[in-house]
Amino acid sequence: MSNNQINHKVPLSGRLSYGLTDGCGNLLYCIIGSYLLYFYTDVFGLSVATAGAILLFTRLLDAIDAPIWGFIVDHTKSKYGQSRPYFLWLCVPFAVFMWLTFTTPALSGTTKIIYAVVTYILAGIFYTGIQTAITSILPNLTRRPGERVILNTFRMVGGNIGAFICMTFTLPLVAFFGEGNEQKGFSYTLAFFGIIAIVLFIVAFKNLREVNVEKIKSIPIKDSVKAIKGNWPWILVVIANLIFWIALTIRLSTVVYYCQYYLGDKSLTVFINGIMLVQVIGMISIPLLVKRFNKYGTMILGFILVAGGHMGIFFVGTNIELMIVFWIIASLGQGIACSMPFAMLSDTVDFGEWKTGIRASGFLTAIGSAFCIKAGSGIGGFIPAAVMNLFGYVPNAVQSSTALFGIQFVFTWLPAIIFLCGIILMLFYRKYEQNENNILLDLAKRNS
């Protein structure tokens, strides 16, 4: 490793293209976190218990492919690079199976459930490949920690814009394309988003370059697994990220229920989801926050803000104005807490190489990102469905007072409690972050 590689700065076109990758992924995949539970229960025609079971089963089963994709990336050697080619190879199948997931065929009974399971799993498999490439390419774009934070900020801002477009315009586009038929509307909307995502993934593929990737050797699977041994910062980041995605999925998937049944106005969903764009402020501020509070402290700040925002929403009840204020606070925290693990994972790849001599960027980042997102979304989709079912929720019906309390609880206190658990892990991460510069210098000496 040369000093030029340590100090390599990615050009603006590369930074913007890295932002496009997560923007495209979120443009499609965030529809799952925000609307799939609603789609299954109120559009596709499944009971809330069945929908919740599908979300849990498929996500946990599908999450197994995360380490497999990591192994695949670690063994990839092509003229395009190690991680970069997957933006080109996977963008079309990812878009197609996302479209099929939100398309309602003329099926019934068990056959309909099997269709939902198969399409959801396949969409998730291809998303894992895309997500693994997005995260694993970061350590290979630059060795410079500060540059990685900047690149990750571009990624998170791009991802947030993709998520904002998805969550804000999905329901209006469903109404526009469907003309009163939500089944038709969801199918056409996903096709529209899919075409956009394919084009932008290809643009990102053309503009990104991996540094010195031709010298990265393929490593046996058993060596990839060995990169975990003693890699405590990686373990802490993975658990914290899993906790975040469980809570985030609960937060996002219950907005539509909270607005429709507790606040009595489903149209508020679009407005409230749109407000989440303020999380870009949190993302943009991360380089400054990291300089002031370090990475672990910035992550803790994000957890505190998003948890406090949800607790505040509970106490203001149906006061929409105050609810929006606390929703903004939570969104700022979400932007911060969502961004940090992806930047920190690159540092744990360095730690793993320093500790074991094995640089398994694909394997470590696949579990730290795609596995956490998918397992977290599965668990986070199941929990509110199970709780609402326990409290007596019935789709497309007037809800009992007990069911309304259940909806309020899963939207406010449940995610808040889970978010707060992540703080404990970051307190332990502190000592590892303090040693990062020494690790980089030591690696530079070994590889010179």
Q: What angle is formed at CA 216 by the lines to CA 212 and CA 217, rounded to 5 degrees?
A: 160
Closest CA to 269 of 47, 29, 35, 32: 35
**What residues contact 407, with CB distance under 8 A and at least 6 apart?**
254, 257, 258, 261, 262, 388, 391, 393, 399
What is the tens place of the pLDDT at every residue in 274-329? Answer: 888 898 899 889 889 999 999 999 999 999 999 999 999 999 999 999 999 999 99
What is the tens place of the pLDDT at every residue in 223-276? Answer: 777 888 889 999 999 999 999 999 999 998 899 899 999 999 988 988 888 888
Position 362 pLDDT exceeds 60: yes
How confident is the prediction for the chain on average, in pLDDT?
88
Buried b / exposed e over 249-285, threshold 16 CB at 10 Å, is bbbbbbbbbbbbbbbeeeebbbebbeebbbbbebbbb
What is the tens place of the pLDDT at every residue in 136-191? Answer: 898 888 877 778 888 988 998 898 889 889 888 999 999 999 999 999 999 999 99
Task: Indicate the residue type of 191.
Answer: A
Closest CA to 340 of 121, 80, 148, 140: 148
Alpha helices for 75-144 (secondary structure H): 85-101, 109-136, 138-141
Position 418 pLDDT exceeds 60: yes
CB–CB of 403/391 below 8 Å?
yes
> Residue 78 — φ and ψ, nearest 5°?
-140, 170
Cβ-defined contacts of 49-55 (< 8 Å, 24+): 49/385, 49/386, 49/389, 50/113, 51/385, 52/381, 52/382, 52/384, 52/385, 52/386, 52/389, 53/382, 54/113, 54/116, 54/117, 54/120, 55/377, 55/378, 55/381, 55/382, 55/385
- Residue 145's Cα: distance from chain center in Å? 22
CB–CB of 25/159 below 8 Å?
yes
What is the distance between the alpha carbons of residues 64 and 125, in angstroms, rounded to a whole number?
9
What is the tens place of the pLDDT at every residue in 40-61? Answer: 989 998 988 898 888 877 777 7
What is the distance between the alpha carbons of residues 43 and 184, in angstroms, rounded to a whole number?
10
User: What confidence score (pLDDT) does residue 84 get?
Assistant: 92
What is the tens place of the pLDDT at every residue in 187-224? Answer: 999 999 999 999 999 999 999 988 755 555 666 677 77
The residue whose two tokens read 């707060």 is 420
Task: Indicate the residue type of 44.
Answer: F
> Residue 47 — φ and ψ, nearest 5°?
-70, 160
**DSSP letter (8 states) at residue 317:** T
CB–CB of 209/14 below 8 Å?
yes
Burial class (CB in 10 A: 0-12, 13-18, 19+), 392: middle
Give the confidence band of 3 by pLDDT, cuts at 50, 70, 90: very low
Tell me if the pTM is above 0.85: no
Position 353 pLDDT exceeds 90: no
